Amino acid sequence: MPAIIISEKDPAGMNIREQLLKEFDFKPNGKKFNEKEILQYKNFEIILTPERQVFADSVNLYETDFFIFASTHTSKTGKPCLTVHPIGNWGVAELGGRSNTLVKTSAELLRDYLFGLHFYVEENKLQYAVCLEATHHGPYLEKPTIFIELGSSAKQWKDKNAANAIAKTIVNYWDCSDKQNGHAPVCVALGGNHYCPEFTKLVLRKNFAISHICPEYALQNFNENKLKQMIEGTVEKVDSILIDEKGLGKENLRIKEILQKSGMQIEKVRKLLKK
């Protein structure tokens, strides 16, 4: 049973909650968390937390199978976007979570939600970018987790049509892995910038599923232990490691040595996109 976590302090999160209640028949199920009623529709539960999402380690106390955080996204550009990403810290924990620790996630759900956002952006006629983000920030949780976010400024946080796209994605694209097209290759990925343009294109165009992504700015903290966390922190079996070779920067040779020692299959994302 997935738990949808929303911070009472988060304007986009509360906007998404409003759309979840509008679109689906959520009702109190008799349970409470933080003295707040829990609402349920089918297997989904909506849980409110008083903390900011990135510091909401307290939800570890709630028994569930999967955490879905509906959240704001903030950027300096203020560009309208809908994003999905795993969580964890490649180095020192500066925004919740534990230092040098990744949280379990699902490559297939990240893929499905990316497809869902892409579909509803078109259906709702939104002028929003849709993308993966690299693994970043807290909280630290024991169960698999993803963030699905509405951004990137106060104007977008209030956008009901954009929040509606996220709400419908959360429910309608849960557990909808594409059985017609068979198994999607499951990967972890390294390189590129925070918004992962090459990896996003690979998911949408070539039906790959990607879990943890270590971007170029965090590669100085990447090592054998982090690779192990990426693989073990993916609920599905990982088939290969993707690299954005142009986005490995000065860590290029060191990263490739670590990956070669792993014995895992290594794929170049830009080469795959040309096939």
Say which amino acid occupies 100: N
β-strands 2-7, 44-49 pairing: parallel
Average pLDDT on 178-183 reads 53
Segment 141-151, tens digit of pLDDT: 999 999 999 99
Q: Say yes or no to pLDDT of 170 above 80.
A: yes
Tell me what the pLDDT averaged over the chain comes to.
95
* DSSP secondary structure code for residue 99 in this structure: T
Reduced to 3 states (helix: H, G, I; strand: E, B; else coil), residue 218 is helix
CA distance 165 to 78: 19
Q: Which tokens go with 211?
A: 């879990």
pLDDT of residue 76: 81
Cα angle value 237/242/245 (rounded, 5°): 170
How many C-beta atoms lie closer than 10 Å to residue 27's C-beta? 11
pLDDT at residue number 78: 83
Q: Cα–Cα distance between 157 and 13 in angstroms, integer?
A: 8
Q: Kindly state the percentage of the chain with pLDDT values over 90.
A: 93
- Return the CATH number at 61: 3.40.630.50
Secondary structure (H, E, C), 55-96 = HCHHHHHCCCCEEEEEEEEECCCCCCEEEEECCECCCCCCCC
CATH number for position 247? 3.40.50.10700
Residue-level pLDDT at 182: 55
Q: What is the mean pLDDT of residues 4-22?
A: 98
CA 243 to CA 267: how far, in whole Å? 6
**0.85 cut: is pTM over it?**
yes
Does residue 178 have a pLDDT over 90? no
Domain shared by 54 and 155, yes or no: yes
Q: What is the mean pLDDT of residues 62-75?
A: 96
pLDDT over 50 at 268, yes or no: yes
With respect to residue 181, please indicate whether it lies within any of the assigned structural domains. no
Residue 177, pLDDT above cutoff 60? no
Asked, for residue 99, whether it belongs to a domain, the answer is: yes
Kindly tell me if the per-residue pLDDT of 179 is higher than 70: no
Q: Which domain holds residue 22?
A: 2-172
**End residue of a domain, out of 149, 172, 195:** 172
d(C-alpha 248, C-alpha 89), whole Å: 18
In this structure, are 10 and 139 located in the same domain? Answer: yes
- Span 198-207, pLDDT tens digits: 999 999 999 8
Number of H helices, E strands in the chain: 8, 12
Task: Please indicate, yes or no, whether residues 198 and 148 belong to a single structural domain of this protein.
Answer: no
Same domain for 106 and 239, yes or no, is: no
Express each pLDDT in 214-238 by its tens digit: 999 999 999 999 999 999 999 999 9
What is the rounded average pLDDT of the residues 26-31?
A: 97
pLDDT at 14 over 60: yes
